[in-house]
């Protein structure tokens, strides 16, 4: 199909869910109110590492309105994982629902169900817990120090979550020997959290047949089903997980959370439905953050800018449990084989436990950290070699045939296209030659920077994924798509309906999407890894293609025409060479003399390997040298995402990723007190996300430069990409503005002033 033939794909159709969202009719998990509903709350430890020596719930149980209290004495003792990917080797069983041990400040130690949320909350204060404190570690260094207290009995020891990941290609020593310039640096990053609008929430209800129905705000409903079934000792068909609309997830809602088990257990104990809903504070304490990290990076370059060797050690801080650390460590470490082509790499990746809240999956999964470091060092190398930073990246950009982190050859020249296009669109050369001063504002300096990224659509090879779709055509020609893919709010269901309508030859409005009920829809691995449109979209297209053949066969019978002579466009079947010989899909599917009405069903299953999307971000910043405040003024993000299915939705993903990326780089950091493990800013007052007023002018450019044969019409992922390149682009622009290099995020105003002072002293000492 050539480009101009598209009728639905590539157009920004009105999202199918837009009216119900705008009117408030759309149902979120918190909107479910069942008769007899109880409310659950979790008692949280106020100590970071301890053994529980006594826990007394008698007063709480006696409190009027309280229906049940659970402690570690009352729950199944099943060691389980937090990152429940059944096809993944990379999950770590290291947690119990409740245990006589506490591993981070804020961990749940008991749960209450009561007739109101207020009563449940009040009853928490009546639970008495005695702790025997244990020595604790609050950062990577302390966790790795000789003789450090061990947080887990399982695992390889030394507070490691998994054995170190080691990747070696080529000969690193030989590469360094050939280098004209060798750079070495240390980098680190804070603890951003995905502040989704909808706090975690679930509702559990058991029926008389001992079947659990479970509404929960999750990206991975089938994984929740699997883990609940395993831990509760139920067959999969006795656990039904439902999720309709979601207020975001950003990766973090693909864990199995402690409150989800406890909600199900409280409901079983009370024989009444129970709802548990996090407060905003709990989304910090008991949610999932990005992994804080430390990284050492050494790279060698030839005079012409060619990268010849890369040696890297990265350590991710997992917090108290493993969660997604195995995946993050593998993906993040492997990411450093690529972006800028390098034949000689030696990479070491680790994840360590600390007595802090749990780090999990978050958009940009392990890669935000490594590419931040790599792209800053690339800038340093460009300056030392006297090469323009954008040109430096063009020379080294990964391209067609290079081996990607997944082990596959790269398809196309997407990264080069993004860089080249951005140089023109941003006016890079002219800007970099302009004055860094700002007229009338003597304390302000301007600067321009670039950052690049690539990210895989799908989690292959870490997880061997499978996308499934079932497409039904009803007797009236209307179409139902059944998919297990969750709708985080990204518009993925709209994209899937577009794909079905396009392939089938019906209107977009005639396709209805059914999702989020594990008893009804085909199995799905979950909405993550930027793969829904790529993976499920391909399965949906396969199912639609099969259905189309069958609908046309029926049309041929009714029209008395050869099937190969028919085409179907916008729900009308026409004979190609006989104008006027046509019928609607409604007529085709309905009954006529001798032909009963029919209901057709087709399914598609797709197992992808991997594709990569690319981006280059060009930014302008202003730095106030008196206050240290950095303002990101303009971003020109240039993305290659293959075939674009819904341009406005893709653009929305890019803008949202940039907003979060600006937050990571400048203002967002969930801070843990390193003396006792307490949270210092678990709330939106002091955890500072940039808001609409803080957003720069964003001029998004989406290219279709390197379509991937694995996705529908060449479509690739877009969800995670935009959060990655913005960070180093800002850090590089800040350097361009004030000549101070930062190797960490967030870069605070105070860091800027201290950096300026250090630079001033350096210049004075050097006699400049």
Partner 1 sequence: MRRFEYHEPRNLEEVSDLLTTLGNGAFILAGGTDLLVEIRERLRDVKHLVDIKRVPGLSGVDYADETGLRFGAMVTAGQLEAAPGLAARYPNLHGALKVLASIQVRNRATVIGNICRASPSADTIPPLIADGAAIETWRPGGGRVIPLADFFTGPGRSVLTPGEIATAITVPPPAPGSRRAYIKHGRRKAMELATVGVAVSLDTEGGTCTGARIALGAVGPVVLRAPRAEAILVGSRLDAAAVSAAAEQAMQECTPISNVRSSAEYRREMVGVLTRRAVSQAMEVAA
The CB density around residue 464, as the number of other CB atoms within 10 Å, is 15
Q: Binding to partner 1 by residue 665, rule CB under 8 A?
A: no
Stretch that binds partner 1, among 22-30, 34-42, 114-122, 235-243 (CB under 8 A): 114-122
Q: Which of 1, 22, 430, 691 binds partner 1 (CB under 8 A)?
A: 691
Stretch that binds partner 1, among 360-368, 544-552, 623-631, 711-719 (CB under 8 A): 623-631
Sequence-ordered alpha helix ranges (H) in 216-366 = 221-232, 258-270, 280-285, 325-335
Rounded to 5 degrees, what angle do the CA atoms 190, 192, 193 make?
Answer: 150
The CB density around residue 53, as the number of other CB atoms within 10 Å, is 10
Q: Binding to partner 1 by residue 681, rule CB under 8 A?
A: yes
Q: Which is nearer to partner 1, 127 or 568 (CB)?
A: 127
Q: Binding to partner 1 by residue 117, rule CB under 8 A?
A: yes
Report the site for partner 1 in 487-546 (rule: CB under 8 A). Answer: none
In the complex, the smallest distance separating the C-beta of residue 115 from partner 1, rounded to whole angstroms, is 12
In the complex, the smallest distance separating the C-beta of residue 120 from partner 1, rounded to whole angstroms, is 11
Partners of 468 in the β-ladder: 605
Q: Binding to partner 1 by residue 671, rule CB under 8 A?
A: yes
Q: Binding to partner 1 by residue 46, rule CB under 8 A?
A: no
Q: Binding to partner 1 by residue 753, rule CB under 8 A?
A: yes
Lay out the site mask for partner 1 across 625-664 (x = CB under 8 A, - = otherwise): -xxxx-----------------------------------
Q: Binding to partner 1 by residue 697, rule CB under 8 A?
A: no
Q: What is the DSSP letter of 236?
A: G
Q: Is 159 left (phi over 0), alpha (psi -120 to 50) or beta?
A: left
Q: Which of 86, 683, 761, 762 binds partner 1 (CB under 8 A)?
A: 683
Q: Binding to partner 1 by residue 677, rule CB under 8 A?
A: no
Q: Binding to partner 1 by residue 115, rule CB under 8 A?
A: no
471, 540 contact by CB (below 8 A): yes
Q: Binding to partner 1 by residue 184, rule CB under 8 A?
A: no
Stretch that binds partner 1, among 3-11, 155-163, 410-418, 691-699 (CB under 8 A): 691-699
Q: Which is nearer to partner 1, 121 or 230 (CB)?
A: 121
In the complex, the smallest distance separating the C-beta of residue 678 from partner 1, rounded to whole angstroms, is 11
Q: Which is nearer to partner 1, 688 or 741 (CB)?
A: 688
Q: Binding to partner 1 by residue 690, rule CB under 8 A?
A: yes
Q: Which is nearer to partner 1, 149 or 199 (CB)?
A: 199
Write the CB contacts of 438 (distance below 8 Å, at least 6 apart in sequence). Answer: 444, 445, 446, 622
Q: Which of 31, 74, 122, 139 binds partner 1 (CB under 8 A)?
A: 122
**Positive or negative: CA dihedral 101, 103, 106, 107:** negative
Distance CA 348, CA 183 (A): 18
Instruction: Identify which of 431, 455, 300 has the alpha carbon closest to the alpha carbon of residue 377.
Output: 300
Q: Which is nearer to partner 1, 280 or 741 (CB)?
A: 280
630-640 and 701-703 as β-strands: parallel, antiparallel, unpaired? parallel
345-353 and 307-319 as β-strands: parallel, antiparallel, unpaired? parallel
Stretch that binds partner 1, among 162-170, 306-314, 342-350, 678-686 (CB under 8 A): 678-686
Q: Binding to partner 1 by residue 749, rule CB under 8 A?
A: yes
Stretch that binds partner 1, among 235-243, 301-309, 567-575, 686-694 (CB under 8 A): 686-694
Q: What is the DSSP letter of 516?
A: S
Stretch that binds partner 1, among 337-345, 362-370, 679-687, 711-719 (CB under 8 A): 679-687
Q: Is 134 helix (H, G, I), strand (E, B) or coil?
A: coil
Stretch that binds partner 1, among 30-38, 117-125, 372-380, 458-466 (CB under 8 A): 117-125
153, 65 contact by CB (below 8 A): no
In the complex, the smallest distance separating the C-beta of residue 128 from partner 1, rounded to whole angstroms, is 19
Q: Which is nearer to partner 1, 558 or 688 (CB)?
A: 688
Stretch that binds partner 1, among 93-101, 433-441, 534-542, 748-756 (CB under 8 A): 748-756
Distance CA 8, CA 610 (A): 25
Instruction: Identify which of 271, 265, 266, 255 has the alpha carbon closest to the alpha carbon of residue 217.
Output: 255
Distance CA 732, CA 637 (A): 15
Distance CA 717, CA 644 (A): 9
Distance CA 385, CA 302 (A): 9
Q: Which is nearer to partner 1, 22 or 693 (CB)?
A: 693
347, 167 contact by CB (below 8 A): yes
Q: Which of 184, 304, 424, 750 binds partner 1 (CB under 8 A)?
A: 750
Q: Is 598 helix (H, G, I), strand (E, B) or coil?
A: coil
Q: What is the DSSP letter of 476?
A: T
Q: Which is nearer to partner 1, 430 or 439 (CB)?
A: 439
Partners of 612 in the β-ladder: 456
For residue 746, cis peptide bond before it (omega within 30 degrees of 0): yes
Q: Binding to partner 1 by residue 439, rule CB under 8 A?
A: no
Q: Which of 430, 439, 693, 768 binds partner 1 (CB under 8 A)?
A: 693
Distance CA 400, CA 590 (A): 50
In the complex, the smallest distance separating the C-beta of residue 690 from partner 1, rounded to whole angstroms, is 7
Stretch that binds partner 1, among 200-208, 500-508, 567-575, 675-683 (CB under 8 A): 675-683
Report the site for partner 1 in 271-310 (rule: CB under 8 A). Answer: 279, 281
The span from the first CA to the last CA of the chain, in angstroms, equals 64
Report the site for partner 1 in 70-99 (rule: CB under 8 A). Answer: none
The CB density around residue 609, as the number of other CB atoms within 10 Å, is 15
Q: What does each C-alpha distance from 394 to 52, 500, 627 come to in angstroms?
A: 57, 38, 35
**Positive or negative: CA dihedral 716, 720, 726, 729:** negative
Instruction: Identify which of 249, 237, 238 has the alpha carbon closest to the alpha carbon of residue 205.
Output: 238
Lay out the site mask for partner 1 across 575-614 (x = CB under 8 A, - = otherwise): ----------------------------------------
Instruction: Identify which of 650, 618, 648 has the alpha carbon closest to the alpha carbon of residue 530.
Output: 650
Which parts of this chain interact with partner 1 (CB under 8 A)?
A: 117-118, 121-122, 279, 281, 626-629, 666-667, 671, 680-681, 683, 685-686, 688, 690-691, 693-694, 749-750, 753
């Amino acid at each position: 199909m050539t480009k101009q033939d598209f009728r639905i794909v590539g157009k920004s159709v009105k999202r199918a869910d837009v009216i119900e969202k705008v009117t408030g009719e759309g149902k979120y998990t918190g909107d479910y109110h069942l008769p007899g509903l109880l409310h659950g709350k979790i008692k949280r430890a106020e100590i970071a590492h301890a053994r529980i020596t006594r826990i007394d719930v008698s007063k709480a149980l006696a409190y009027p309105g309280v229906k049940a209290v659970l402690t570690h004495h009352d729950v199944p003792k099943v060691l389980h994982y937090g990152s429940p990917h059944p096809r993944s080797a990379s999950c770590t069983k290291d947690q119990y629902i409740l245990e006589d041990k506490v591993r981070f400040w804020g961990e749940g130690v008991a749960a209450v169900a009561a007739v109101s949320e207020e009563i449940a909350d009040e009853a928490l204060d009546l639970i008495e817990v005695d702790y025997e404190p244990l020595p604790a570690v609050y950062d990577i260094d302390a966790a790795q120090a000789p003789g450090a207290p061990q947080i887990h009995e399982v695992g390889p020891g030394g507070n490691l979550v998994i054995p170190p990941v080691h990747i070696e290609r080529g000969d690193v020593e030989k590469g360094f020997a050939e280098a004209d310039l060798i750079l070495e640096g240390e980098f680190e990053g804070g603890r951003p959290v995905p502040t989704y609008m909808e706090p975690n929430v679930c509702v559990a209800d058991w029926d008389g047949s001992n079947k659990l129905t479970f509404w929960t705000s999750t990206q991975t409903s089938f994984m929740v089903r699997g883990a609940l079934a395993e831990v509760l000792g139920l067959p999969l068909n006795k656990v039904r997980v439902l999720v309709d609309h979601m207020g975001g997830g950003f990766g973090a809602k693909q864990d199995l959370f402690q409150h989800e088990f406890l909600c199900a257990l409280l409901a079983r104990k009370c024989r009444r439905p129970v709802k548990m809903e996090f407060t905003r504070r709990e989304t910090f304490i008991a949610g999932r953050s990005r992994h804080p990290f430390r990284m050492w990076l050494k790279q060698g370059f030839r005079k012409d800018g060619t990268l010849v060797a890369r040696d890297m050690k990265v350590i991710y801080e997992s917090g108290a449990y493993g969660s997604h650390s195995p995946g993050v460590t593998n993906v993040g470490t492997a990411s450093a084989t690529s972006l800028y082509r390098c034949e000689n790499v030696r990479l070491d990746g680790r994840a360590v436990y600390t007595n802090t809240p749990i780090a999990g999956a978050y958009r940009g999964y392990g890669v935000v950290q490594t590419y931040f470091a790599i792209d800053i060092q690339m800038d340093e190398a460009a300056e030392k070699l006297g090469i323009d930073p954008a040109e430096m990246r063009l020379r080294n950009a990964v391209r067609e045939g290079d081996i990607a982190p997944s082990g596959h050859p790269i398809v196309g020249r997407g990264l080069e296209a993004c860089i080249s296009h951005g140089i023109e669109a941003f006016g890079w050369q002219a800007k970099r030659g302009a004055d860094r001063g700002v007229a009338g504002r003597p304390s302000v300096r301007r600067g321009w920077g670039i950052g690049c990224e690539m990210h895989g659509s799908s989690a292959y090879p870490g997880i061997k994924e499978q996308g499934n779709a079932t497409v039904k055509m009803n007797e009236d020609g209307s179409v139902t798509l059944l998919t297990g893919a969750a709708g985080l709010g990204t518009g993925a269901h709209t994209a899937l309906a577009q794909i079905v309508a396009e392939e089938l030859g019906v209107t977009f409005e005639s396709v209805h999407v059914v999702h989020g009920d594990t008893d009804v829809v085909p199995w799905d691995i979950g909405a993550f890894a930027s793969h829904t449109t790529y993976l499920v979209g391909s399965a949906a297209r396969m199912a639609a293609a099969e259905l189309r053949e069958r609908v046309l066969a029926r049309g041929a019978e009714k029209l008395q025409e050869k099937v190969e002579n028919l085409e179907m466009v916008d729900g009308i079947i026409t004979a190609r060479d006989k104008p006027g010989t046509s019928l609607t899909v409604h007529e085709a599917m309905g009954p006529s003399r001798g032909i009963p009405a029919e209901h057709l069903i087709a399914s598609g299953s797709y197992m992808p390997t991997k594709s990569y999307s690319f981006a280059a971000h060009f930014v302008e910043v202003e730095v106030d040298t008196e206050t240290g405040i950095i303002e990101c003024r303009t971003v020109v993000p240039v993305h290659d995402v293959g075939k674009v299915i819904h341009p406005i939705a893709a653009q929305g993903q890019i803008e949202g990723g940039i907003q979060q990326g600006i937050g990571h780089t400048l203002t967002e950091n969930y801070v843990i007190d390193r003396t006792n493990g307490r949270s210092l800013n678990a709330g939106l007052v002091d955890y500072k996300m940039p808001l609409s007023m803080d957003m720069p002018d964003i001029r998004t450019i989406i290219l279709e430069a390197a379509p991937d044969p694995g996705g529908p019409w060449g479509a690739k992922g877009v969800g995670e990409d935009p959060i990655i390149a913005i960070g180093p682009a800002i850090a590089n622009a800040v350097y361009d503005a004030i000549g101070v290099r930062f190797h960490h995020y967030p870069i605070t105003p105070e860091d800027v002033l201290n950096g300026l002072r250090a630079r001033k002293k350096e210049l004075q000492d050097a006699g400049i």
